[in-house]
Structure formats: structure tokens, C-alpha cells
Amino acid sequence: MTAEPTRSGPTGAGPTYAGPDRERVLGDLIGMLMDVTGEDQRWAARVTAASRLEGDLRLESVELAALGELLSQAYGDRVDLAAYVAELDIYQIIGLTVGDLAAYVCASPAASSAGLP
Amino acid sequence: MSRFLFITLPLTGHVYPASAMAQMLAEGGHEVAWVGSEARLRPLIGADATVYGTRLRPYRGLADTGLTSVKSLWDDFVVPYTRFTLPTVEKAVQEYRPDVLVVDQHALAGALVAERQGLRWATMCSSSMELARPFAKLPKIEAWIRGHLATVWAQAGLPDGEVPDLRFSPYLVVALTSRALTGGLSFPDHYALVGPSLSARPATADFPWGWLDPGRRHVLVTVGTMAENNATDSTDFYGRAAAALAPLGDRVQAVVIAPPDAIPDPPEHVLVAPRVPLLELMQHLDAVVCHGGLNTVCESLSCGVPLVIAPLTRDQPINAEQVVAAGAGLRVSFSRVTPDQLRAALTTVLDEPAYRAAAGRVRDSFAAAGGARAAAQRLAQLAAGKTMPVPANPVSANSAAPGAKK
């Protein structure tokens, strides 16, 4: 049921994940990003897997923390955004994309069993 | 009488607080000299001051945000600035023979020369950037900064081994904040939280005092020179601020520090000026809307004026968090806040007395902390040899002996 996503990592040339979950997770993520930023559909329509959280979406630290909570609520506690980011170096965090987060969620063992909302 | 050598950054917000401490030291009979860009320093510290001039390196990453701003601060500013100011600091120390070096937290050449020569030195933190340890939960970022410290240490010809944290003197760390703001953070005894270091600096701009209507509340909007590019170009913060203020003309007058074209044709109750006499104006204000730089935050709170903070970068989100925790203001998103949201935040801070009361508590804590006078006292104690280095921040064994020359 869950295809193993191909993780290119935060500094990869671009997300190239396959599998049924990835598109759905991406859609969920964009919805959550709207929630934490208070932005509208027009803004969301421009968010893609390649959008960088820092440079493109200007996500602030409080918004990232709020996103982490929403991710845990949706996919279970083993999706731990803060722990994921803590493993990244400065270049990886600067380059972190929405697609990287989708890949992290898909790769997390809890995500498939927790059931998507 | 002791001699103090101030090693500064070419940033007004860093030089003014140092200058206030220098004035206090001079009043106490001490002598002060400076290392930094003469073009930047002279207008702020006066024509008579002794300056060992360095080249000027503008910090071009001012508009960067998030970790991009951390990267540009260290890669493009701190490391090169340290490298090219090092010979001037060496020369100044040889000629001036200071008892204490007072080192801006990111002017690392001062720390390097002091460590190399075995001199006492103090750190001056004029931002919350390092003090709040924002990267405690991002170990690779902290390690990356440590790597830069090791680089400048090696470039200065200091010996291999454990590199001390050059951002924090083992003798004395003077921080321009107080416990009313830092809340739950705890600091070692050699950290002196003195509050803002303000001096009676001459008014640098005229102001139409008669324009102020005593029947209305008064608001200052300033996002600082650093944020202006962001404010005018990409996110139009000034436009949103103007829209937020527009319907408040019957009860509010607003002064917006900005270039005149930032808000074309402002309404009667909005005054746009590129410069204002900030400290004098502060006495008349009921609220300040700002980006959350520590200087503006502390200048407001030292007058008991509550804040609406739209933080953009560097220590601004930390300061905003601290002000909100102290109850002295509200935080909004710089890039996303709508005019309605900004107006709601502003009227809340104006109308609910709790914010003004909390700002008053911070003002009282600043007064108790002692400001520039307390900083000068701690510096004089350090010069008099009453302060020993704290071993928790180890200095390299072969550079710690007083008077040791490499």
C-alpha cells in the first residue's frame, strides 16, 4: 500500500519521490502551511514541493513550531519535525523544501500506520 | 584611573550603548579609546575621542532572514571583519596599553588579541542574538558557529587546542537587557544584565512638537534602517501600516520613521519623517510598532511604552517573544500581518492597561539594573583586578597568564 519514497534529502537536486502517499502528504502539508501562516488559497496555489520554507515561504520559527504540532497530530508522535530539523546542518535548513518535509513524513514508519486524516 | 579600549562594529545601534558606557567611565576619571571605522564612529562619539581607525566593512546581509542571516553574518561579516581589524587592534593595544578591552560580541579581533596578550576583556552584547542561545536545539548550527570561532583563532596564530567561546568573555559579559525580559534564562555571575545603556545624546533631528494633539494617543512606527528594503520593496509593510492607521484619525496620531515616499500623501494624523529625536519623542508615546531590534525595544520599555512587534530577522523574534512573555506587548508577523490584524493589535495594546502596566514593570527593572553607570562600574572593577576569569569558559593555558606575550 505504501510505496517507499525515494529520499533525495534536503540538499538534493529536487524531490523525485514516487508513490501514492506523496501527493496526498504534499496536499496535507500545504493545507497545514495555510493554517500556520494564515495565508489564503492564492498563496497556497503557488506552493510546490520545491518551495523552500525559509527563502520562498518566509516561514518564521513560531510557524515552524506550529507546523510541527499539526504534523504530529495528523501522523502521530513519531513524525517529529523538531527532531528532524535538529539533525540538519545550516545549508540543509536554509534549503529545506516542502518536498523534503513530505519525504520525511512518508519515510516515517508511523505515518502509514497512523492513518491519514 | 584605568584605560579602556572599545572594539566596536560599524553599526549605530552598537556604538551608541558603548558610547554611553565610555561617557560614564570618563566621568569616573578613566580613559577610553576606540577601534573601528572612523567615518562611522566620529559622528557618534565626538571629535575629541581617540580612534584607531579601521577600514569600513558594511554588512550586506542586513535584509537576510532566518538561518540565511546567520550564515551571512558569520561568513560575510564576522570572519572577514575580524581578520582585517586584527592588526589595528594589535597596534592599538601596543600603543594605548589598555587595562581592559571592551569587545562587541561579534568584533572578535578584540577577544583574540586579549587572549593572545593575556589581557582582561569584557564582552558587550547589544543584541539578544547569542545571549538567548537560540540554537540550543540545533546542535549542528552551534557547531558551525564554533567552527568559525576555531577558524579566526587559528588565523590569529593562536595555539591548537581548546578554543574558548570568543562570543562570551570569561571575565565579564555586559548585556543590555534585564531579567524582566530574559525571564527563565539563567546566567553565570559574571554576566551583568545592566538594561539599556542610554546616554543624553544631542537631539539629531527637529520635530514639530506643536503637531502633537494632547487629545489623541500617540504611536510611533519604525522598522529601522535594516528592514527598510523589506518594508518598501517586497512586503510593503509601510503600506499595510498606513492602511491599519487610516481609520484611527479621531483617536490616534502616528509618527512613521521612513523615507517620505514610503507613505505617499499621508492623512492628517500620520506624520512621515526619515529621522526623529527618538528619546525625546518616546516621552510622549502610548505605543511603539517596530521590528523588535533590542535598541528600539529597550528604548520604548525604558519609558514604559508597550509594543507591537513585527520581527523580521536575527534577534528580533527572540526579543518579540520576551516582550510578549513579559506582557508588555504583542507580536505580529512582519511579512503576513494584514492591516486589520495590525490595527487590532495596536488598539489592544493602547486600550488594555495591562500592557502599559507590564511595560512599566520592565522600565522599573531597567532602572534597577543601572544601565551605562552599572556597566561602567563593572568594567572599572574588572580593570582594578577584582574579577577573576570564570573557568567554565576555559582560556587556552599558554595565553592566560597576564602580560604573557606570544
Q: What percent of chain B has pLDDT over 70?
A: 92
Q: Which of residues 38-57 of A touch B (CB under 8 A)?
A: 38-39, 54-55
Residue B152 φ then ψ, to 5°: -70, -30
Mutate one of A60, A81, A85 to test the B interface: name it (highest B CB count within 10 A). A60
**How far is Cα A59 from Cα A53, in angstroms, rounded to an integer?**
6
Q: Is the pLDDT of residue B395 over 60?
A: no
For B33-74, what is each residue's pLDDT tens digit?
999 999 889 988 988 999 999 988 777 777 788 899 999 999
- B68 at A interface, C-beta within 8 A: yes
Report pLDDT for A43.
95
For B213-255, what is each residue's pLDDT tens digit?
999 999 999 986 655 555 445 678 899 999 999 999 999 999 9
Q: For B139, which residue in chain A has the nearest alpha carbon?
A: A86
End-to-end CA gap in chain B? 27
Q: Which of residues 281-320 of B touch A (CB under 8 A)?
A: 311, 317
Q: Enter the pTM of the model.
A: 0.87
**How far is Cα B406 from Cα B402, in angstroms, rounded to an integer?**
12
Report pLDDT for B202.
64
Structural domains in chain B, sorted by start: 3-195+370-397 (3.40.50.2000), 209-366 (3.40.50.2000)
Q: Model confidence at B308, in pLDDT bands (50, 70, 90)?
A: very high
- Of B35-49, B137-151, B339-353, least confident by mean pLDDT is B35-49
A89·B141 Cβ contact <8 A: yes
> Which residues are bridge partners to B253 per DSSP?
B218
Report pLDDT for B363.
97
Query: Which candidate from B67, B311, B317 shows the least CB-CB separation from A93?
Result: B67
For the CA atoms of A92, A93, A94, A98, the dihedral, rounded to the nearest 10 degrees, stands at 100
B67 neighbourhood in chain A, CB within 8 Å: 54, 90, 93-94
A90·B71 Cβ contact <8 A: yes
**How far is Cα B335 from Cα B250, in angstroms, rounded to an integer?**
28
Residue A71 φ then ψ, to 5°: -65, -45
Q: Model confidence at B356, in pLDDT bands (50, 70, 90)?
A: very high
Average pLDDT of span B8-25: 92
C-alpha closest to that of A109 among A69, A78, A70? A78
Q: For residue B174, give the H/E element and its range.
A: strand B172-175
For B18-37, what is each residue's pLDDT tens digit?
999 999 999 999 999 999 99
Query: Which candidate from A54, A86, A87 shows the least CB-CB separation from B67?
Result: A54
For the CA atoms of B234, B286, B194, B135, the dihedral, rounded to the nearest 10 degrees, stands at -30
Q: Is the pLDDT of residue A7 over 60?
A: no
Report pLDDT for B228.
52
Q: Give the mean pLDDT of chain B.
A: 90
B138·A55 Cβ contact <8 A: no
Query: Which candidate from A38, A63, A90 shows the least CB-CB separation from B67?
Result: A90
Query: Which candidate from A58, A62, A86 shows the least CB-CB separation from B335?
Result: A58
**Could you tell me which residue, A57 or A117, shows the higher pLDDT?**
A57
Its ipTM equals 0.84
Q: Is the pLDDT of residue A1 over 80?
A: no
Least Cα separation, residue B64 to chain A (angstroms): 9
Average pLDDT of span B133-146: 92
The 8-class DSSP code of residue B105 comes to T
Report pLDDT for A33.
98
A59 neighbourhood in chain B, CB within 8 Å: 66
- A61 at B interface, C-beta within 8 A: yes
Report pLDDT for A17.
44
A61 neighbourhood in chain B, CB within 8 Å: 317
Least Cα separation, residue A51 to chain B (angstroms): 15
Average pLDDT of span A53-82: 93
Report pLDDT for B233.
54
Q: For B68, which residue in chain A has the nearest alpha carbon?
A: A94
Helix (H, G, I), strand (E, B), or coil: what is residue B281? helix
